[in-house]
Chains A and B, each alone.
Chain A
């Protein structure tokens, strides 16, 4: 792992138009835009709690429309955790994650101690579903990573996604909330999941 910095870097990968930016924006800003603008690369910051102090969660939203091997390699080598997003309305978008997963594996050596989440986004568009939940789960099992279906549009499972991801990190003790600054919404989400963050 690179320099001992206080940042925790999460990188979001996925094919074009699956909703990477929507997921990140929903999590960081709590909003959903119905606009259609491809991303080049954006980085968002969020303060979280880590090992009983604060640290910055740095989320890199990558491009899906055109692969730049060099930029992709850089994001992977710098990233601590990865979110691999596909759209449940497109089988192809799941297929496209395969080379990305292979590259993470190749650069990191092993994915054992690296938090990775496979995410099926657009779970609100049930009518257009092409990838069954079971198939997503099977892929996650094959990759030995966690799995979740989300919808950035209806705000379903978005916060949970990031929580789970941080919980997968065994080297540090992290949670989304900072001491004393918990929002009511956050508490409710915790209760719903029956999980307790470190306080």
Chain B
């Protein structure tokens, strides 16, 4: 035991360290009580363990020399391949395993960072509302692609500490570009592949009342973290349209720009994808204009 070999002074500092970490842990615990509990499946990958390992589900030994079991790439849980099928969906991603922000699964990201929504979405929207609502062609005009890439790298590197203020990026179109890029790079789009057909169906309904009803049903198919992010984004876009006189962006225009950004057809058939664009636009437009009743 290391504890026996250290002197009094060191012991004291260790004790204060321990006190501090326990305080921090308690604080984060309280925070996680506030943050909604999104259910998340584990992301198991076959793994070769070095040295003896025991399954963290059934506690039995993991036999073999290679590929003894599976490891969750998001939280690091080690279990038998057989046990992985019965493990509950209680994956709590760890920042040690979740390194990137962009192109990371949305639920994984918010669970790892203990936030309600991806910090990219919150931070970009706050920045845009603070200094860009009246900018002409907001979300339509694109910023320098290198600088947008730069913002992405900053988020990947610094997370919520990324600096996207006007000192760092003067042009608001870089921030809107970075936000759109975040949605485009999601491995599962904000409107998920599973829910996609239902959303497209609602776009085909002509009766406005019935469309709203079916859209309301379709929203229930989204994972909670996706739905919450969509709600927040739509409320923001609604505020953008309130400055239409200055920024020229109506809900129709935003629907055109955001339709293909938020929705992607599960299979990549170019013809159907092109056909769907019309309905994607309609769906997003309806979501923006009716965000107050839909969510």
Contacts and interface: CB of A to CB of B under 8 A. Distances in A.
Contacts, number: 57
B256 interface: yes
Contacts of B253: 36-38
Interface string B128-143: 0000000011011111
A132 interface: no
B8 to A, nearest CB: 63
A120 interface: no
A68 B270 contact: no
Most chain B CB within 10 A, of A37, A39, A70, is at A37
A38 B274 contact: no
A137 interface: no
Interface residues of B, number: 25
Interface string A56-78: 00000000111110110010000
A17 to B, nearest CB: 5
7 contacts: A16-B140, A16-B141, A17-B141, A38-B256, A65-B139, A65-B256, A71-B270
B42 interface: no
Interface string B252-265: 11001101110000
Interface string B110-153: 00000000000000000000000000110111111100000000
A96 B173 CA distance: 13
Main secondary structure of the interface of A (DSSP, over half): loop
B277 interface: yes
Given A65-B142, A96-B142, A96-B145, A40 B256 contact: yes
A99 interface: yes
A92 B143 contact: yes
Interface of B: 136-137, 139-145, 171, 180, 184, 248, 252-253, 256-257, 259-261, 268, 270, 274, 277, 281
Interface of A: 15-17, 36-41, 64-68, 70-71, 74, 92, 95-96, 99
Contacts of B248: 36
Contacts of A64: 140, 142
A37 B143 CA distance: 18
Contact of B137 (A16, A71, A95): A16
A92 B148 CA distance: 13
Which 8 pairs across A and B sit closest by C-beta, in order of nearness? A36-B248, A65-B140, A16-B140, A16-B141, A38-B256, A17-B137, A65-B257, A17-B141
Contacts of B141: 15-17, 65
